Amino acid sequence: MEHELFRHGPSPAARLTFFTLLSLLLLVSDAHYKYLGTLRQGIATAIYPLQRIALAPAELAKSIGDFMQMQSSLVRENALLKRQNLENQAALLRYQALQQENNQLRRLFEAKARIPVPALMAEILYGERDPFSRKVIVDKGALAHVAEGSAVIDNAGVIGQVLEVYPWASEVSLITDKDHPTPVQVLRNGLRAIVFGSGSGNLLDLRYISSNIDIRPGDILVTSGIDGTFPAGLPVAAVLKVDRNPAYAFARITCEPLAGVDRHSQVLILASPPPESGKK
């Protein structure tokens, strides 16, 4: 039911005039005496929660949108960083491999300058498929004037010996191959002996050495030069262990090659000395 004032009160023109004058009075009073400031602050404080509630759905939707966009951006950035990391790791490995290869080539050039006979640089292509064989294939053959029996070395010492020669490649028997003989000499005391490949692992056996012979762990074995294949003085191996058993006539001596028989991919093939002509 409408209020009595509006049903039986003054005319609309009188009411309009009254409320207009009241509004002007309130405006003038507020402008000069600031009476309504506290009221406005109270009303603003009271309706602030309602404003926040009204704006909450829009702010929540915006926050969810920003979060999803940031999540998608982070996923893409993370995938990009992972790919870049893998590429950088691969590039680093290639760089390290090239650096090691360059270092090895530099050492081979230095060794080539030191040895007294001509030498041909070759690269190991692959090893024999036989797991019990210690042989490799190099990329130089008869067309590069490689001869059977030629010595194969690296910058640290003897690798092996050319076993078979093909037109564009050669088969090299490593000094660790089963029963491969290499004439050597103990650098410390000049003792001559023969070291044999063990065929298992990267080890050599110094055989037929009497138990009372002066040889000890740490002795360095070099080529003796008496076989006519290896120049004298090339490093071959270091003595690892000497087992003297009174029950046996010979000592059991284990040695380790000094050259990188299973590490490097570049080697030097020494030219075979020309055969001596017979006397007329």
Q: Are residues 107 and 127 in the same domain?
A: no
Whole-Å CA distances, 89 to 93, 94, 103, 184: 6, 9, 21, 44
pLDDT at 17: 82
Domain that holds residue 245: 122-270
What's the confidence (pLDDT) of residue 5?
A: 47
CA distance 109 to 103: 10
9: amino acid identity, one letter = G
Tens of pLDDT along the chain (280 residues) come to: 445 544 556 777 777 787 787 777 777 766 666 666 666 677 777 777 877 787 778 778 878 888 888 888 888 888 888 888 877 777 777 776 667 667 766 766 666 666 767 888 898 888 877 767 788 999 999 999 999 989 898 888 899 999 999 999 999 999 999 888 999 999 999 899 999 998 877 899 999 998 888 999 999 999 988 877 788 888 899 999 999 888 888 999 999 998 887 777 888 898 865 444 443 3
- In terms of domains, do 127 and 258 share one? yes
Domain boundary among 61, 83, 114: 114
The pair of structure tokens assigned to 71 is 């999540």
174 CB contacts (<8 Å, ≥6 apart)? Answer: 134, 135, 136, 159, 160, 180, 197, 261, 262
- Are residues 256 and 158 both part of a single domain? yes
Listed residues 114, 136, 169: the one ending a domain: 114
CA distances from 122 to 16, 91, 119, 214, 262 (A): 113, 26, 10, 38, 15
| Residue 70 maps to a domain | yes
Residues 53 and 149 in one domain: no
103 and 174 housed in the same domain:
no
Q: Is residue 34 domain-resident? A: yes
pLDDT at 31: 66
User: Residue 193 belongs to what H/E stretch?
Assistant: strand 192-197
For residues 247 and 217, state if they share a domain. yes
**Pairing assessment for the beta strands 252-257 and 204-206 based on DSSP bridges:** antiparallel
For residue 61, give every residue at least 6 positions away whose Cβ sits within 8 Å of its Cβ, in sequence order, or none.
none
pLDDT at 1: 47
Count of domains for the chain: 2
Q: Are residues 72 and 207 in the same domain?
A: no
Query: In terms of domains, do 226 and 137 share one?
Result: yes
Within this chain, do residues 246 and 140 fall inside the same structural domain, yes or no? yes
Residue 232 counted as domain residue: yes
Within a domain: residue 22? yes
Residues 126 and 263 in one domain: yes
Q: Among residues 61, 79, 114, which one ends one of the domains?
A: 114
Model pLDDT, residue 85: 82
Q: Specify whether 30 is located in the same domain as 132.
A: no
Residue 276 domain flag: no
